[in-house]
Amino acid sequence: MQILQNRRVFDVCVIGSGAGGGMAAKVLTEAGASVVMLEAGPKWDPVADSYMFAWPYDTPRRGAAIPERHFGEFDAALGGWTLEGEPYTNAPGDTWDWFRSRMIGGRTNHWGRISLRFGPYDFQRRTLDGLGDDWPITYDDVKPYYDKIDRLIGIFGSMENLPNEPNGIFQPPPKPRCYELLIKEASEKLNIPVIPSRLSILTQPLNGRAACHYCGQCGRGCRTHSNFSSPSVLLPPAVATGRLTIITDAMAREVTVDSAGLADGVLYIDKKTSRDNRVRAKIVVLAASACESARILLNSKSSRFPQGLANSSGVVGKYLTDSTGLSVRGFIPKLMDGIPHNEDGTGGMHLFMPWWLDNSKLDFPRGYHIEIGGGRRMPNAGFGGGIHQFNGVEGSGRPMSFGGYGKQLKNDYRRLYGATVNFAGRGEMIPNKDSYLEIDPAVVDKWGIPVLRFHFKWSDYEINQAKHMQETFRAIIQQMGGIPMGEMPSRERGYGIEAGGRIIHELGVTRMGNDPSTSVVNKHCQAHDVKNVFVADGGPFVSQPDKNCTWTILALAMRTSEYIAEQRNAGAI
């Protein structure tokens, strides 16, 4: 087959345009490198392509999901757990639901903007409780980068001086919504501390970007660039250097190596023509998402690297993790017949509960934080669903129960609007040997690229944690005078824990370490086996703290990119 070759040799090829890839492109182009970026999806512009301020009745679908947008037709996530022509497989009995974004900016376009630093304990868990492994770096190594991204990107929050929830450089947090105040009051009676959330949404102008206008629609893409996404914050300065070349609809297949065993380019499919192309580069930075980067490495087989690139240890694909997650909804009679007011706020919660307990008194290690939701949100497809599960319960002061029709039902919808709250737990999973990915020996995608096969199991640690989440959320709802909706799922059903991958925090399949026989990359996220290959997504993570991973992906990508720039200047790579 003829492969189209671009004659130009770039300094760096970055695969992926999300948090890791966007940051790598920004830092490296600003440091003087020519960068070519491969993105598997189309161009996407938060100004031109956002559905900000659309009403549900602007479309006949009222915002419902479509196959290309699993979070609804207005959401800025092009992609999903299934992609046409791009299968993946699960080993018998295992479930991993793999979310893939296909667009410029990747998952940074619709993510929750929950921007939590990992704390000092999070980098040395094995030392503290004997489980999992320590990172080869500490909080002090990463702190300067957290500080830099706080200043560059912007984040709101409050100084709490908690031991494992480090302070940041915060803009003022937005005031809480009404139901959030109610949750705070009830939680504090149960000794669960509630603090302002930490989201990368601007409450003050920053670096030429406007402050938030509180429409609550961050997930649709922000036309005023008031929140963090790679296309709003990272790519414009990289483009402005004149040194960034972005190739969209470019599905990376493998990293190629020269006779010296160094990477010299990337083979990719031009999705518009289905033809094989190749870009040449002196350095390759993988930031395609943890699992996709591992797939590219495993598919980069050569006589010199028969197990795939950077995989002499056999560790590529091992230690796959996701956050634990489940949610419980509660009907709060006190919130019925609410007084109309605009409760949109920012595109996320204004308060949350960081992990607060001592594990020595619990039957599981590590912890989880609690994310809260509710309020008089904009009605969207699905509004009022399941009303037969909760109208007319005792608290509403009516003997009639669960369902109905007619004028009374119509009035029930009004009375119940804004009267439910939601609690979602996001917790730490301990990496285990039963959770890993590999290349499926039989299945290829529509371009003939071998696909991933996942193995994934929660252990009792996570299941016990899920039980604790359920009990805690139900206790808060009851403390609020409310009624949890639905019975607590049984242990056989994992207490309602979501399938692996559903929380979309895939981490750990190209882990970092000091020992080349037990890790893929070193503490600079540089492949032990190939010194000009780096990983800048969630792959190098050694553990999966309960804190959402994006802020650390950004910090490590910046740290790695600065290291690459130094090494280039020193002539080492």
Residue 127 vs 411, nearer CB to another protein? 411
Contact 373, 349 (CB under 8 A): yes
Shortest distance (Å) from residue 198 CB to another protein: 17
Residue 58 vs 434, nearer CB to another protein? 58
Residue 367 vs 418, nearer CB to another protein? 418
Question: From CA 11, how far away is CA 32, in angstroms rounded?
Answer: 9
Question: From CA 64, how far away is CA 382, in angstroms rounded?
Answer: 8
Token pair, residue 480, equals 């609020």
Handedness of CA 83, 88, 93, 94 (dihedral sign): negative
Residue 399 vs 441, nearer CB to another protein? 399
Residue 127 vs 401, nearer CB to another protein? 401
421 - beta bridge partners?
330, 374
Token pair, residue 397, equals 């002061």
Number of Cβ within a 10 Å radius of residue 271: 18
Mapped onto helix, strand or coil, the DSSP state of residue 255 is strand
Residue 337 vs 363, nearer CB to another protein? 337
Shortest distance (Å) from residue 381 CB to another protein: 6
Shortest distance (Å) from residue 404 CB to another protein: 5
Shortest distance (Å) from residue 397 CB to another protein: 16
Shortest distance (Å) from residue 413 CB to another protein: 6
Q: 54 CB contacts (<8 Å, ≥6 apart)?
A: 63, 74, 220
Shortest distance (Å) from residue 391 CB to another protein: 10
Ramachandran area for residue 299 (φ above 0: left; ψ -120 to 50: alpha; else beta):
alpha
Q: How, if at all, do strands 420-427 and 324-331 pair? A: antiparallel
Residue 71 vs 383, nearer CB to another protein? 383
Residue 58 vs 471, nearer CB to another protein? 58
Mapped onto helix, strand or coil, the DSSP state of residue 53 is coil
Residue 256 vs 391, nearer CB to another protein? 391
Contact 396, 387 (CB under 8 A): no
Contact footprint for another protein (CB under 8 A): 53, 55-57, 59-64, 66-67, 174-178, 180-182, 185, 203, 212-217, 334-335, 338-346, 350, 376-388, 400-407, 409-411, 413-414, 417
Residue 34 vs 346, nearer CB to another protein? 346
* Amino acid letter, residue 152: L
Q: 289 CB contacts (<8 Å, ≥6 apart)?
A: 16, 18, 100, 101, 106, 107, 506, 537, 538
Question: From CA 246, how far away is CA 573, in angstroms rounded?
Answer: 23
Shortest distance (Å) from residue 228 CB to another protein: 18
Shortest distance (Å) from residue 174 CB to another protein: 5
321 - beta bridge partners?
507
Shortest distance (Å) from residue 81 CB to another protein: 16
Residue 553 φ then ψ, to 5°? -60, -45
436 - beta bridge partners?
455
Token pair, residue 439, equals 């290349």
Shortest distance (Å) from residue 448 CB to another protein: 27
b or e along 296-320 (b: 16 or more beta carbons within 10 Å of the residue's beta carbon)?
bbbbbbeeebeebbbbbbebbbbbb
Residue 345 vs 425, nearer CB to another protein? 345
Shortest distance (Å) from residue 203 CB to another protein: 8
Residue 237 vs 481, nearer CB to another protein? 481
Token pair, residue 252, equals 């990376």
Number of Cβ within a 10 Å radius of residue 493: 11
Q: How, if at all, do strands 250-257 and 79-80 pair? A: unpaired
Shortest distance (Å) from residue 465 CB to another protein: 31
* E strand or H helix at 185: helix 178-189
